[in-house]
Structure 1
Amino acid sequence: MEEPIEDREIVFLLADDHSIVRQGMAILIDEIVPNARVYQTSSLLQIVELIESKGVEIAVIDAHFPDGNSLHILSQMKAANPNIKILVFTGLEEDLHVLKFIKAGANGYVSKLSEEEEIRQAISDIVQKGEYFSALSRNLMVQFVHNPDLINPLSRLTNRELQIAEMYAEGNGNLEIANHLNIKQNTVSTIKKNIFEKLKIENLVELIDLVKTHHKI
């Protein structure tokens, strides 16, 4: 008979390049799972190695690290331990990013902007149920069945908009883009505004992040 959650040792991995985030999450885990054994890393490259060497059962990971994007190692994490449960804990907007992480193998997704109670619920659910998804995420999953393009927000863009988004991500400015495409600068500005509205973003940093995440340039 399986021991109660509270009494069984569970091996966690906290992967985030910000120490304060890891420490805060470690405190919550200690309160929810008193016998948890918690390992920490700030490096994306160490995640799979720690899963293999420490017998990690639950990984709480950020979406982005200085050395890369965690989306692309979820499959490696699952290969290292097919039973591992992965909770993505990130500042990225849920409606734009959750589906791609689910498709890649995540068992849960919670925003760093969430109230403490929701983060506690996410930890508790990932331990007891093996998954945590908000009502928004579940709604998006249902929508995805009928509209697979939801998983990639860049699919909302026209070919020209995607072309210009890629050029911004490559470091080009309005003048360079206008000259390269032989169009007016104000046309580039108008298209940029349309791109921002369609993707629900406010600046080039967010655009570059989306392009690098969803589209190979």
Structure 2
Amino acid sequence: MSQETYELKAEARERVGKGSARELRRNGLIPAVIYGDKQAPISIALSTNEVTKRIHAGSFMTTVATIDVGGEKYKVLPKDYQLDPVRDFTMHVDFLRVSGNTQVTVEIPVHFINEEKSQVKIGGVLNIVRHTIEVHCPADAIPEFFDIDLSGKKIGDSIHISEVVLPKGVTTVIDRDFTIATIVAPAAGVEEEAPAEGEGEAEA
């Protein structure tokens, strides 16, 4: 499961538009919007420092949060955020209202384990085709990551999504057995392990 939820304080925005957004940013705030769940969208402003801290902490897009707007609390999942292309600071965030039965689409990172138990150990190259897997799942049961076990994998092998055990209620967006990674030989080939002492003497 994804990391524990957190809460952010926000204030409602009466004015919207580019001029209002610029003024908010000058005052250390980020314009944002809460939408979805068949309700009217709410324009809000959040602390730039708090949001940036959450983004840099990781799992921002897969962790359900609570936003307190003047005492009224909304359970949300970040769906998008915009960065300034030059100065790399957060300019805007979109949040989706969620509840226990809300289904969301999120990208879950993959972690590769047990490389030392595969032919990657003797020079094989792990060629990662997908660093994340896009899934549908309940908003209150978002996986934090998927472990991909490389034990016993040899050069020439491929790892497909069918080898990953998905939690209950989690399904992939792509409806086919797609490749996550392959193990390939390096350009110069893989050096064979040196024979044990004494091997080959009979031939000599």
So what's the TM-score if we normalise by structure 1?
0.27
So what's the TM-score if we normalise by structure 2?
0.28
Larger radius of gyration: 2
Between Structure 1 and Structure 2, the one with more helix by share is 1
Name which structure has the greater RCO, CA cutoff 8 Å, separation 6+: 2
Between Structure 1 and Structure 2, the one with more strand by share is 2
